[in-house]
Amino acid sequence: MPPYADAPTIILGTDGFIGRNLLAYWQVRGWPVHAVGRSQGDFTDAATVDRIFQQAPKAGRILHAITKQRTGAIQYDIQGELLRDNSRIHLNVLDAWLAHQPQAKLVSLGSSCVYPESPKPLPEEAFRSGAPHPSVRGYAQAKETLAIGCETFGSQYGLKWLHCILATVYGPHAHTEQHRSHFMASLIARAVAGKAAGDETFEVWGSPDTVRDLLYVDDQIEAVLAADGAFENRILNVTSNDPVTIGQCAREILGALDWPARIVHPANSFQGAGYKSMDSHRFLNETGWQPRFGIDAGVRAAIAEMQRA
């Protein structure tokens, strides 16, 4: 019997992409869950977060998936906003966790943006070893605050935690709006619309050689659960050690759609870090976890879901 069946899990951020999928994963399995979405209040407000945690049932786990994120070039213009709002969210969660749910293990979802640029996969020891990409300075600093907050609250107050640094995730409910979508969801949405419109070209922003870690959302959720079962009180890379290029993703999408469009790369489109991949050997060696969706199956599942919506 998994531990999630024994006590409620509080899922923070159930209106968001990963949070919605986490909630559905719990509901399908009949595990007790307390969902917290936007209707409960603004998580930048400390009193609101304190009330939400106080009124929640005593939980075995808290899955923290709340974040305010933007993507692409707009990030350069709102660095302070992303730092301010996300730092407040994360610090409020830490305070309320200590005050009202200290028995619960806090599993927080992190981002590879906290790592510096590197031409090779980065292990956890690279955390705080260099500056993040300039486009994500504010957001990365807030995520770093969350990771260090978990560590320091855990060591000072005897709390259990795990900070999972994720791949780029795609699948059902992924954001496709401009300035909010990550590269894979944006590529899939643009390709589905382009084929439907009869376009003969497929715009792919940035360099086709850009490298990222990538996981279908169900795989990422199951990876986090595997990590939760094997680790506590540490920052952990939780990916499949199988990075992809943007060009490879674009070709997979065209193949899945059977769309013979010509790939074009617009000049001056946004380009983040050219290579960003994490070394997840610690996680993989301890858990034996493997993804169920390769890139081909994941792309087809995501396209099918998008076309049903």
| 183-209+244-276+296-308 fold | UDP-galactose 4-epimerase; domain 1 (3.90.25)
Output the pLDDT for position 131: 86
Output the pLDDT for position 178: 59
Output the pLDDT for position 216: 96
Output the pLDDT for position 273: 74
Tell me if 261 sits within 8 A of 200, measured CB to CB: yes
Q: Is 41 exposed, middle or buried (0-12, 13-18, 19+ CB in 10 A)?
A: middle
Q: What is the CATH number of domain 3-167+216-240+278-292?
A: 3.40.50.720
Helix (H) or strand (E) holding 93: helix 79-100
Cα–Cα dist 53/95, whole Å: 10
Pull the structure tokens for residue 195.
């084929």
Tell me if 91 sits within 8 A of 214, measured CB to CB: no
Output the pLDDT for position 38: 94
Output the pLDDT for position 308: 78
Output the pLDDT for position 306: 81
Q: Whole-model pTM?
A: 0.93
Q: Is 13 exposed, middle or buried (0-12, 13-18, 19+ CB in 10 A)?
A: buried
Other beta carbons less than 10 A from residue 262's beta carbon: 9
Residue ranges per structural domain of the chain: 3-167+216-240+278-292, 183-209+244-276+296-308
Q: Where are the beta strands (DSSP E) in 30-74?
A: 33-36, 61-64
Q: How many helices (H) and strands (E) does the chain have?
A: 9, 13
Output the pLDDT for position 36: 98
Output the pLDDT for position 17: 93
| Tens digit of each residue's pLDDT, the chain (309 residues) | 578 999 999 999 999 999 999 999 999 999 999 999 999 999 999 999 999 999 999 999 999 999 887 655 566 677 889 999 999 999 999 999 999 999 999 999 999 989 998 999 999 999 999 988 888 888 999 999 999 999 999 999 999 999 999 999 999 988 665 555 567 888 999 999 999 999 999 988 888 889 999 999 999 999 999 999 999 999 999 999 999 999 999 999 999 999 999 999 887 766 667 889 999 999 999 999 999 999 999 999 999 988 776
